[in-house]
Structure formats: C-alpha cells, structure tokens
C-alpha cells in the first residue's frame, strides 16, 4: 500500500476530494505550455541538426570556379549567402550589399543554383511593434482588473464580515467546556429552543432576543460561544464588534443590516458578537460629542434587535468584560433579555478545567491536579491553560518526558511572580536589606491571625520585584472582613518596618507596598464605610473618566469631607504601622533567623519559615497548628479540623496600638533594642 504522501496529488484531480479551482487550473496549463516551449527552444539550440561552415566571400568564388558549390541563397537585405558545397557541407558567408550582378552571373556560369531570399515581409516588419502592443495591452488589462477589484471592494464595503459555521465546525461542544454548569444550562436552553421550538411555544414561552455573557478576561466566554456553534443544529454567525467599524461613516450600520438580513434568511439562527463594548458604548458620553460611526452602528443594532420591525427567529449572543460602559438601551429586556455572569472559576471548577487542559499531557503519577487547583485561587481558565503549558515547558527544560509536581510549582511561580532574573547581580548590602524586607512580610503573614497562610519567601529577583513573599488562601474568598483587610495592611507594612528596626532609615523598596496599602485604605474609608468618622456613606471610585462622565466633577463630596477621608486613611495606615512595629519587635529573633536563612538559601518555604519563627520565639506562635501553605496550596495543620478556626489558629492577633494618630506625619518611635 503506497504511503499517504505519494497519493497527495490525486486529491487535486477533477474527481478528487479537493478539486483544483478553474482559475488555478487555467494558470497551471498556461505555465506548463510556456515551460514546454522554452525547453524545446533551449534543447533545439543545444543540438543543431547540421554542421555549418563559415567561408570567406573570395573563397566562395574560388570554390565556384572549381565546381565545388552546388547552391547559393542570397539575402538582399543583409548580403548573407548560404548554401551547400559539393561535399554536402552547408556554408555561410557575408557578401556585398547589394550583391553585384556580374558576380551573380559568374556564379550561375559555374553551374551554381542561385536564388534570392527576401525576408522583409509584412509580418516580419510588424513583429517588433506587435510585441510592444501585446505588452502594453497586457499592462492595461492588469490595471483594469486591479481597478475592478478595488471597485468591488468599495461596493462590498457594507457587507457583513460575519463567518457562518455549520455543524462540522467548530468541533467544540459543551463537553469541552469544563465547569460553569449554570451558564451552560442557560445557553443550552436557547439552543434547544431553536432546535425544538414546539416544546417551549406549547407553554407560551418566547425565545430570548439576546444573551449577554459578562465576565473577566480569560473566563471562557468565546469558548462558550464556540460550544454553542458546535451544539446548535442551526446556522451560527460569528463576528467581532470591531468588524463593524470602518473609516467610512455609515458602513457599520450597513454591515449590521446585512448581518441580520442574512441571519433572517437562515432563520432560526444564532448571531455571536464578540467584544460588543467596541460598538455598544454609551451614546453621548465621549469628549466633544459622540462618535458618529459608532452611534449609527449602535442605533441600527438597537433597531434590528427590537425596533419597529423586530427580527424573529434570530438570537444574539454577545460577550464583553466591560458591561458598565454599555448603553442602557442595549441592556433592556427585549434586546438582551439575559445577562449571564461568567465569573472566575472556583475550586470545584478549576479542577475539571485543569483536567481538560492536561488530558493529553504525560503527567507523572505523583501529580495531583486537586492540589494544583487548590493552589491556584483567582486564576481564570486562560491562566490555568497557561499554567499547564508552562509546566510542560519546564519539564522539557529538565529533559524529562513527564510533568511532575515540581514543574507545576515552578510554572506557578513563573505565572504569579514573574520570570527569574538570573542575570541580575546584587551587592551584599542590597541582598541583606532585601532579606530583612521580605522577612518582615513573612513574619507578619505567619503571626497575624487573619492573613492568608504563608507559602514561600525568596530574595531571587523575579519580574519587576527584587524579592517576593507569597501567601495563598486555602479556599476561595468572596467577601473581605475588616480584620482581614487590616491584617493585610499590617503585613505589607512589614518590609518597611523591618528596615526601620534594623537600619534606622528607609529605602525605595517599599514603594509598591505603600501604594497598594494607600489604595486599599482609601477604599475602606470611601467605598466600604469602614471608618467611624465617615460613617455609613460611600463614594465610588473615579475609574470611568475616559467616558467623560466624571470629567466635570471628579468627586461628589465637599472639601471638608475630603479632608476627613484623608485623615482617616492616614489614621488607618499609622495604626497598622504601629502594629507592625510591635509585632516585629516582639519577634525580633524570628526576624533575624528568617533573614539568615534567606541569605543562605535564597528561597525557603512556609513550613521552614514557621519552624524558624517558632524556635526563635521559644514556643509555637499558633499552638493548635502551623499557619502555612504547603506546595501547591494544601494547608498544614496538626489540629482537629472540627476544633480549628481560621486555619486552626486561636491565638489572638496583637491588639492595635494607638486609637488615634496625629494629622502631621512624624517618624514612628522605635522601641529600644
């Protein structure tokens, strides 16, 4: 049986599965004929049929007197004389122009057959001009075709760029989308409605006009739409929101009309619009008026979905991660009847997502995808797919044929903390300061009661950071209590306070910590009502200035309230700094032990850090269990889970120091060491 590669040419035959298009077949024939003629001319020139002898004109006359010339053919234009000698040899010579009549008479007297060749025919004369005419004509035909193609493009600029899918593509189904059972159920109802509408119309149910998928980037909204295309037995049209926008005003609206007209002809049908926020933004919210092209496109879409002549049998599925910028008229019932939130996957959903992406990967028997899922809170489906791929790449770097837990751990560090910067060389003084800084974070993360469990500490530069202290929650958290937020603020103060305790001055290493703490404290005061001075009042953040809505009024509170907010933010940050000073002073020996271990090993895990802190403290900081997170997110505790709370920690957190703080900043008072 021949190999498949040997029979690939058969599929291009007229009766094959992939016949060659007529235009391509015609070009192939023309190319083959030209190649044959060129080859024939080259080969014929390389192998002449007879040998031609060059003789001088005087020798020719001598040969003629000796009866050695049989024939002579004289060219009147060039004077070239060709013919045959008595020995059968062909000859050629250059004679005078014009040929002398006496010499022609002499040749004929010597029994030479003389004839005259006059190639100056009409065709020969017109041939050079004909060649130029053909070249010019071909060039004009080429230009006309180019102009025709451009005209066709301009005439078709208003046509929709939507791609229509049938049942053969794409192959993605709901079985390929792990998790999100509620989301798949609502979308599958629409598919079933289009397949068997009688079941729903029997009870008076109407088909939804539109479904809006809302969720953060990477949660699988487009994949869900591909699954709908794979499951639906009806025509499926896919288009991006940016495909409607063009430099010509009115093109977007024309494409919307063409899209819905085509879908109406194929009814029932599904239209999927990805990134609908590119054309569905609020009208009149931009600077200097609205965008005419975008607003006309949006108006046409509103009319097509539920206007004077609404479209029947066409369901619109749209996806966006910015529902706050969409026009209210687009979100009302009758247009987008359902808004389905596609959130970040929780623990029960991350495991099947990892199983889908690791299905064809050679995993080591020791790999537990459940542990990987527990150690990846907050990751989207795209992040998990990237995590599995990074672990495979790390296995290849180790020259391993299987993916182990070590590869998943390294891949997660790569995704969450950045690439390791091996080329950066730090001075000993800098390494020591970074070690104290990260040890301050790690010690507070372990000692404080409501912080996330400690996982890993490293002073190896990664990404934009010179050192990283990683904490991981043991379970998904959907709301944040005030004590958890305060402990998080205190933990971030640990690096700055550790440098103050050891060196008595500050460095630029705490810039990111201070920025994140200030933002968090401001949200506690301004948005979450966690301030006694402000009370139960909230003002949203000013993150929508780009819409033009908040440009003219950046805040909706008075200057006096603004001053109170600033004072409360300062008070919260000062209190947490004082708590950090008290805790690090109490556990100064643990801080030194962590620093020495980091300088020696550069990276230590949470269990090692907990052991060092407990040994330096003289007794366990958390008597009922160790508050750390082992590799890839499984908590370690020696206590009975039924008796343990907050990771098995009953030790109370250090009480806040100072209920009030001065409004003028002063360096914190450091206790005597």
CB 351 within 8 A of CB 370: yes
Residue 575, classified by CB atoms within 10 Å of its CB into exposed (0-12), middle (13-18) or buried (19+), is buried
**Residue of 231, 349, 438, 499 with catalytic role:** 438
CA distance 572 to 552: 30
Task: Report CA torsion sign: 107, 109, 112, 115.
Answer: positive
Is residue 438 annotated as part of the catalytic site, yes or no?
yes
Above 70 in pLDDT, residue 659? Answer: no
Least confident of 95-104, 164-173, 291-300, 602-611: 164-173
- Specify the pLDDT at position 493: 94
CA-based angle 21:27:31, to the nearest 5?
Answer: 145
% of the chain beyond a pLDDT of 90: 14
CA distance 259 to 244: 10
Class of 428-540+557-636 per CATH? mainly alpha
536 Cβ contact list (under 8 Å, min separation 6): 529
Q: Does domain 347-417 have CATH number 1.10.8.60?
A: yes
Strands 90-94 and 80-85: antiparallel
- For the domain 163-334, what is the CATH code? 3.40.50.300
pTM recorded for the entire structure: 0.63
The mean per-residue pLDDT over the stretch 422-451 comes to: 88
- Specify the pLDDT at position 663: 35
- Specify the pLDDT at position 649: 34
Which DSSP string do the residues of 362-407 spell out, in sequence order?
A: -B-TT--HHHHHHT-TT--HHHHHHHHHHHHHHHHHTT-SSB-HHH
Largest CA distance in the chain: 140
- The answer for 216, left when phi > 0, alpha when psi is -120 to 50, beta otherwise, is beta
- The answer for 646, left when phi > 0, alpha when psi is -120 to 50, beta otherwise, is left
Least confident of 150-159, 232-241, 456-465: 150-159
CA distance 180 to 220: 10
Q: Which residue has the higher pLDDT, 213 or 280?
A: 213
172-184 tens-digit pLDDT: 777 777 777 777 7
Other beta carbons within 10 Å of 607: 16
The end-to-end CA distance of the chain, in Å, is 87
- Specify the pLDDT at position 374: 80
- Specify the pLDDT at position 539: 81
Least confident of 133-137, 247-251, 266-270: 247-251
Other beta carbons within 10 Å of 560: 8
222-252 tens-digit pLDDT: 788 777 777 777 777 888 777 676 655 566 7
Q: Which residue has the higher pLDDT, 619 or 108?
A: 619
Q: If pLDDT is split at 50, 70 and 90, which confidence band does 39 have?
A: low
Closest CA to 557 of 543, 539, 572, 569: 539
Q: Which CATH architecture has domain 52-120?
A: 2-Layer Sandwich (3.30)
pLDDT averaged over every residue in the chain: 75
Domain residue spans of the chain: 4-46, 52-120, 121-153, 163-334, 347-417, 428-540+557-636
CA distance 566 to 521: 10
522-567 tens-digit pLDDT: 999 998 989 888 888 888 654 444 444 444 445 677 888 889 999 9
- Specify the pLDDT at position 656: 35
């Amino acid at each position: 049986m021949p190999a498949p590669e040997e029979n690939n040419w058969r599929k291009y035959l007229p009766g094959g599965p992939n016949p060659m298009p007529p235009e391509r077949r015609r070009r192939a024939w023309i190319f083959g004929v030209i190649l044959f003629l060129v080859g024939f001319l080259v080969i014929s020139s390389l192998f002449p049929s007879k040998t031609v002898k060059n003789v001088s004109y005087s020798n020719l006359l001598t040969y003629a007197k000796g009866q050695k010339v049989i024939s002579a053919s004289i060219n009147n234009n060039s004077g070239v004389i060709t013919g045959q000698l008595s020995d059968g040899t062909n000859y050629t010579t250059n004679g005078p122009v014009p040929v002398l009549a006496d010499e022609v008479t002499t040749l004929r007297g010597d029994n030479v057959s003389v004839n005259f060749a006059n190639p100056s025919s009409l065709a020969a004369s017109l041939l050079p001009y004909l060649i130029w005419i053909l070249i010019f004509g071909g060039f004009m035909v080429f230009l006309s075709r180019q102009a025709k193609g451009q005209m066709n493009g301009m005439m078709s600029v208003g046509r929709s760029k939507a791609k229509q899918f049938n049942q053969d593509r794409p192959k993605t189904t709901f079985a390929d989308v792990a998790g999100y059972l509620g989301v798949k159920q609502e979308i599958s109802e629409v598919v079933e409605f289009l397949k068997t509408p009688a079941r729903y119309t029997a009870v008076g149910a109407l088909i939804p006009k539109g479904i809006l998928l809302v969720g953060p980037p990477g949660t699988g909204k487009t994949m869900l739409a591909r699954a709908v295309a794979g499951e639906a037995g009806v025509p499926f049209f896919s288009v991006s929101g940016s495909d409607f926008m063009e430099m010509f005003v009115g093109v977007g609206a024309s494409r919307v009309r063409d899209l819905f007209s085509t879908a109406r002809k194929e009814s029932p049908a599904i239209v999927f619009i990805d990134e609908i926020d590119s054309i569905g933004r609020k009208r009149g919210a931009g600077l200097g008026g609205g965008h005419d092209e975008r607003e006309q496109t949006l108006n046409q879409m509103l009319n097509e979905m539920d206007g004077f002549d609404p479209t029947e049998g066409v369901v619109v599925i749209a996806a966006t991660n910015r529902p706050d910028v969409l026009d209210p008229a687009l979100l009302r019932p009758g247009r987008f009847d359902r808004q389905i939130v596609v959130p970040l996957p929780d623990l029960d959903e991350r495991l099947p997502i990892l199983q889908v992406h690791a299905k064809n990967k050679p995993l080591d028997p020791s790999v537990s995808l459940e542990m990987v899922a527990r150690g990846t809170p907050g990751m989207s489906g795209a992040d998990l797919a990237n995590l599995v791929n990074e672990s495979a790449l790390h296995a290849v770097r180790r020259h391993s044929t299987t993916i182990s837990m070590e590869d998943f751990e390294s891949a997660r560090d790569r995704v969450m903390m950045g690439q390791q910067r091996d080329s950066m060389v730090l001075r000993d003084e800098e390494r020591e300061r970074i070690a104290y800084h990260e040890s301050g974070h790690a010690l507070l993360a372990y000692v404080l009661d409501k912080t996330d469990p400690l996982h890993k500490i490293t002073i190896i530069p990664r990404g934009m950071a010179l050192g990283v202290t990683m904490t991981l929650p043991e379970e998904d958290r959907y709301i944040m209590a005030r004590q958890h937020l305060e402990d998080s603020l205190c933990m971030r103060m640990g690096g700055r306070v550790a440098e103050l305790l050891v060196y008595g001055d500050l460095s630029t290493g705490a810039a990111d910590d201070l920025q994140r703490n200030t933002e968090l404290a401001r949200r506690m005061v301004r948005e979450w009502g966690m301030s006694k001075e402000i009370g139960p009042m909230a003002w949203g953040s000013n993150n929508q200035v780009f819409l033009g809505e908040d440009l003219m009024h950046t805040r909706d509170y008075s200057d006096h309230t603004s001053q109170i907010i600033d004072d409360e933010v300062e008070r919260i940050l000062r209190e947490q700094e004082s708590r950090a000073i008290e805790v690090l002073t109490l556990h100064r020996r643990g801080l030194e032990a962590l620093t020495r271990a980091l300088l020696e090993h550069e990276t230590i895990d949470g269990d090692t850090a907990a052991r060092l802190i407990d040994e330096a403290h003289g007794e366990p900081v958390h008597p009922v269990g160790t508050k750390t997170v082992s590799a890839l997110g499984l908590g370690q505790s020696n206590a009975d889970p039924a008796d343990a709370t907050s990771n098995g920690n009953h030790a109370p957190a250090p009480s806040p120091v100072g209920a009030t703080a001065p409004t003028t900043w002063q360096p914190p008072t450091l206790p005597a060491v």
